[in-house]
Structure 1
Amino acid sequence: MTKNVWIFPGQGSQAVGMGLDLAEIGKDKFDKAEKILGWSILDKSQTDATELAKTEFTQPCLYVISAILSDVLKAKGAKPDAVTGHSLGEYSALYCAGVVDFATGLELVKQRSLLMSEASGGAMTALLGFDRHQLEAAIAQTADVILANDNSNDQVVISGTEAAIKSICEQVKSRRAIPLKVSGAFHSPLMAEAATQFAVTLEKTIFNDAEMPVISNVAPDDATTSGQVIREHLAQQMTSPVRWREICLYLAAQGYETAIEVGSGKVLTGLVRKSAPSLALVNVSTLEQAIAF
C-alpha cells in the first residue's frame, strides 16, 4: 500500500463559508465546540474574511473542520501512516492520532488562540523570492528577528520587532514582502510570556501515545509516538520556528509517497510540491472530497 501522511493546515488557510457542508455530519462536534467556545463555528465561518481571520476565531474553526473531515476519512477505513500539521494544524494532527480527544484538543486551541491574539509588541512579514543565504546571514546579524515559518526555499515568514523586520527588508531583496495582519511576533522568542502561560496548561493535560508517528514543527527529523515527547515539542512550538520545508524533505527521504491535506484550502499541498515534488498530493477540504476519497 502507498505510504501516506495526512497534513493539517494552519492559520492562513481559512476561507469564508468553510465547513458549511459539514453541518449535518459534524453536528455533534459543532455543538460540543459551541459549548466550549461560547460561539458557533458555522456562524463564524459565514462572517466576513476580516472577522474570520482574527486568531481567536481562525484557529478553533480550522481545528474543528479538520477534525470532522479526518473523522469522515477514518469512517471510510482510511488511515495515515504518519501525521503532521502547520503550526495550529499540529493540534488537528494530534486529534487524528489519538493523542488528545476532540474536546481536550479544542480547549488547548482555545487557550492558545486567545494567548496569541492578546500578544503585542511584534510583527510578521512574508517574503517571496529572495536569496536564502543572504536572508539567513542578515537574520544572524540582526537582533530581535527570527525566520519563523520556513515554508519553502522561496517562501518564508520572518517574525520579530517592527524595527528588526524593517531592517531585514532593507537588507534583503525579495520579489514581495507582505506584512501579515497578526497581533504579535508568532513563533519567535517575543512570545515567551504567552508560551510560559500555555506551558502550565500543557503540563496539566493528558497526552496519550500516538496511534501513528507525529512529525513536529520543532523537530521535523524526530517523528515520535511518545505522548510525553509530543507535549515537550508543543511547549516549544509557540516560540520556535515552523520548519515546514524540513518536514517536506523528511517525508521524501523517509519514502512517503502521498500527502493528503485534511482541512480548509490547498496551502500545504502547494508547499509540499515545492520541496518534495516526488509526493502525490490529495486535498480533502470538503465533505464531497472526503466521501470520494
Structure 2
Amino acid sequence: MTTTAWVFPGQGSQKIGMQADLENIPTAKAKLDRAEEILGWSILEVCKNEPEKLSRTLYTQPCLYAIASILADLLFAAGQNPQYVAGHSLGEYVALYAAGAYDFETGLQLVKRRGELMDAAEGGKMYALMGFDREQLQAKIDETADVVLANDNSAAQVVISGTPAAVDRVVAAVKSKRAIELNVSGAFHSHLMKEASQKFNEILDKVTFNESKIPVLANVEPTPTTHAGELKARLQQQMTGSVRWREIMDAIAANEVEKIIEVGPSQVLTGLFKRAYSKIPRSNISSMADIAAID
C-alpha cells in the first residue's frame, strides 16, 4: 500500500467552472442540492456564472468546501484511501470532513458562518512575500506591533497580516523578490480576528466532533491526531492562529508519505510540495475525469 496524504487548498484556489462534471453525478448533485437548502443560494450557479460572487469570501468558502468535499467522496467511492489529511486554512474544514470528524452538513454550516464573519471583517491588510530573508522578516515582525506571520507556506513564501500601517512598515523594511497585497477585507489569521473568532466559537462549541478515521494535521498544530477533542480545540484556534503549512509539509514527509494528492481546483499545495519535497510524487484531483485517471 502506498502511504498517501490528501491535502485541500483554501481561499484563493477558487475558479469559475470548478464544479466541472460533478453536477451530472447523482450523489454529487444531491449534496449540492442539500447545500442550496442550507445556504439559500446555489453553488452551481455561483461556480458557473457569477465570478464576482465567487471571489467574495461569503461565497468562496462554502463553494470550495462543497466542491472539495464531493471530490473526496468520489475518491473514496473509487477505492482511494489516504493515511493522512490536511487542509490549508479553509481546506482544514474539508480535511476534517474527509476524516470523518463531522458530516457534510455540519461542516457546511460551520463554513457558512466562518465565511460570513470573515467577509464582514474590516480594517486589516495581508501581503504575500516571496524570496526574502526569514531572519530579517521575523525580526521586523517581532519589533512591530499589530502584524503577524499569518501563513508560513514554505521557506520562500509567507503571508503577513495585521493593521494596514503595521503591514506597510514591514513590507517597506524587508527586502523581497516579490510582495503582493491580497484582496481580502480583514487581517485573517491574526489577533485582529479575535472578535470574529469568539462569535464563531459560540457556534463551534455546540458541535460534537467524532474521533476521526484518518489522522489530521491542523494548521495551528501540525502533528497528526484522530482525537475528537484535539481536533476541535485546534479548529477553535484557527481563525486567529497562523497557518503552519511549512511544518505540515515537514511532518508529512517525516511520516514517510509516498504520494501527495491535492483535492480541489488548484495546484497551489502540490506546487509548494514540489519545491520543498520534489521527490514525493504529486497529483491533482479537480474533476471526475481526474479520479477516473488516477493510478
Q: Which residue of 2 aligns with 1:106?
A: 108
Quote how far apart the aligned CAs of 1:46 are: 1.9
Deviations 1:221-259 (A, max 9, x none): x21101111110000000001000110011111111111
Match of 1:135 among 134, 137, 144: 137
Query: How far apart, CA to CA, are the structure 1 residues paired with 2:245 and 2:49?
Result: 30
Structure 1 residues 206, 2: CA separation in 2 closer, same or farther (over 3 Å shift)?
same
Query: Percent identity over the alignment?
Result: 53
Quote how far apart the aligned CAs of 1:276 are: 2.2
Quote how far apart the aligned CAs of 1:50 are: 3.4
Give runs of aligned pairs for residues 172-211 of structure 1, distance below 5 A. 172-211=174-213
Quote how far apart the aligned CAs of 1:48 are: 4.6
Query: How far apart, CA to CA, are the structure 1 residues paired with 2:49 and 2:93?
Result: 24
Counterpart of 1:197 in structure 2: which amino acid? K
SS of 2:260's equivalent in the other structure is: strand
Q: Which residue of 1 aligns with 2:87?
A: 85
Instruction: Identify unmatched segments of 5+ residues in structure 2.
Output: none
Q: Which residue of 2 aligns with 1:279?
A: 280
Query: How far apart, CA to CA, are the structure 1 residues paired with 2:52 and 2:245?
Result: 26
Indicate whether 1:12 and 2:6 are aligned: no
What's the TM-score, normalizing by structure 1? 0.98
Counterpart of 1:264 in structure 2: which amino acid? P
Query: How far apart, CA to CA, are the structure 1 residues paired with 2:68 and 2:146?
Result: 34
Contact kept, 8 Å, 1:72 with 1:291, in 2: the verdict is no
Answer with 132-141 or 186-195: which moved more: 132-141
Contact kept, 8 Å, 1:124 with 1:159, in 2: the verdict is yes
Give runs of aligned pairs for residues 1-293 of structure 1, distance below 5 A. 1-25=1-25, 26-220=28-222, 222-293=223-294
Contact kept, 8 Å, 2:123 with 2:186, in 1: the verdict is yes
Deviations 1:172-212 (A, max 9, x none): 01111111111100000000000001111111001100001
Query: How far apart, CA to CA, are the structure 2 residues paired with 1:103 and 1:249?
Result: 32
Instruction: Identify unmatched segments of 5+ residues in structure 1.
Output: none
Query: How far apart, CA to CA, are the structure 1 residues paired with 2:49 and 2:154?
Result: 31
Quote how far apart the aligned CAs of 1:49 are: 3.5
Deviations 1:96-139 (A, max 9, x none): 11111000000000000101111111111111111111111110
What's the TM-score, normalizing by structure 2? 0.97
